Amino acid sequence: MPVHLLPLSRRAFLTRLGAVTTLASSLRAAGSDIDPNLIAILNDTHIGGAQPPDSAVPSNLRATIASLLRLPRRPAVVVINGDLALKDGQPKDYEHFSQLIAPLTEAGLPVHLTLGNHDDRTVLARSLKGRFPPNITTVPSKHISIVKTAQANLFLLDSLKATMVTQGLLGDAQLEWLNQALHDHADKPALIFAHHNPRLGGDSTHFPGGLEDSDALWEVLVAHPHVKAYLHGHIHHRDFYYHRGIHLLNTPATSYVANREISTTGWTLAHLHPTGGDFTTLTHDATHRWNGVTEHL
């Protein structure tokens, strides 16, 4: 069951349609202020039910959303790539999270969620019941989907092995689904989203806590030349790598970092075009060296 927080009119429309796991860009919020080529990427929000509203973590998410909504052209898609909850995915965590991101759906922007190791699938589904259309997928219990945009298809994967288990795992069934889905949607470049970092191509310091079936995943990805990038969070840092023809983008956390001397919090704005994509980091600290830096892929 994929997790899509949709504007009310879209939810009703998709429900009547008998929504499936593929969401087309043509169903996005209409309006001249929406840029079909823009994607906002957030991750590691780590919202807790008991966090005071003015504390740093919820304040960072609120500031991110405010910045996003102030853009002259708003993104057609918002992806929040895992670790939505603070620690172990309690109901109050997702209630607070829903309150904080409500301005996005109220503004007509669809929000697509993936899961991380601090999330709980069952609690999330129960907490957000009625906020996203019911779907039946070919991979039971996994939150996976395809989001079609003007320039690329986004494949949202579920790397949650178990709540509070640091390592991630996709599993054979999900990899089989992905392989077939990539085959069936080869009309545009593919961007792969999952919370966990792969254990290849990047900084080996972070491999122990990464995706256990990284090698199997990469064999699937390299078999499809239209796969251009794998985007993840989990590390609470920012890096760009390249492995076997595929870009790896480690996007910054919105919540907090372990070492402020080398990292900071923020989010990513992607501008896709026919020849590639421009991924711009936007930090909460406007003076940070990452702020406004664009990677051209």
pLDDT score, position 27: 45
Edge-to-edge strand list for the sheet holding 111-114: 3-5, 111-114, 74-81, 34-42, 266-273, 276-283, 294-296
Q: What torsion, rounded to 10 degrees, do the Cα atoms 175, 273, 112, 176 define? A: -10
**Is residue 69's pLDDT more than 60?**
yes
The mean per-residue pLDDT over the stretch 135-140 comes to 64
pLDDT score, position 1: 45
pLDDT score, position 139: 84
Binned at pLDDT 50, 70 and 90, residue 129 comes out as confident
Instruction: Give the CA angle between residues 200, 111, 44 to the nearest 5°.
Output: 45
Summarize pLDDT for 10-21 with one digit per residue, the tens. Answer: 443 333 223 335
Summarize pLDDT for 228-284 with one digit per residue, the tens. Answer: 999 999 999 999 999 999 999 999 999 999 999 999 999 999 999 999 999 999 999
The DSSP bridge pattern shows strands 3-5 and 111-114 to be: antiparallel
Mean pLDDT over the full length of the chain: 91
Of residues 98, 202, 213, the one with CA closest to residue 167: 213
Question: Which residues, in sequence order, are bridge partners of residue 86?
Answer: none
- Residue 116 belongs to domain spanning: 3-296
Summarize pLDDT for 138-197 with one digit per residue, the tens. Answer: 687 899 999 999 999 999 999 999 999 999 999 999 999 999 999 999 999 999 999 999
Binned at pLDDT 50, 70 and 90, residue 24 comes out as low
Q: Environment class of residue 190 by beta-carbon count within 10 Å: exposed (0-12), middle (13-18) or buried (19+)?
A: buried
First vs last C-alpha separation in the chain = 31
pLDDT score, position 19: 34
The mean per-residue pLDDT over the stretch 54-65 comes to 98
pLDDT score, position 124: 94
Q: How many domains does the chain have?
A: 1
Binned at pLDDT 50, 70 and 90, residue 26 comes out as very low
pTM: 0.92
From CA 190, how far away is CA 151, in angstroms rounded? 9
pLDDT score, position 140: 79
CATH number, domain of 259, equals 3.60.21.10
Binned at pLDDT 50, 70 and 90, residue 206 comes out as very high
Q: What percent of the chain has pLDDT over 70?
A: 86
